[in-house]
Amino acid sequence: MNNSWTQEQTLDSVNKQKKVLYVVLPILFIFITGLYYLFTSVYQAETQLLIQMGHLGENFTKEELSDFCLTYYNELWYESLTFACFWSL
């Protein structure tokens, strides 16, 4: 079986791979950016909930949020504070 490629076949293969990358990379970038903004909005909603419930002050720090989550996460499981707690660590 002959596995050696000609120069033309190699260039053709490289051009096909470039075309695929030009399509896949922007889609991947848009997907990751969308997830980031989705998680950010959920994080902000959950921290606002903690402020409204009185667990955090209006001007809380990451350290205060981390301390709260490490102390009370298992006790407040019904509130679904996953994004706020895990993004704070």
Tell me the pLDDT of the chain (89 aa) as tens digits.
567 889 999 999 999 999 999 999 999 999 999 999 999 999 999 899 889 989 899 999 989 998 888 888 778 777 778 888 887 66
20, containing H or E segment: helix 7-53
What are the C-alpha distances in Å from 27 to residues 30, 82, 85?
Answer: 5, 27, 29
Residue 33 is predicted with a pLDDT of 97
The answer to whether 49 and 83 are in contact (CB under 8 A) is no
- pLDDT reported for residue 88: 65
Model-wide pTM > 0.85: no
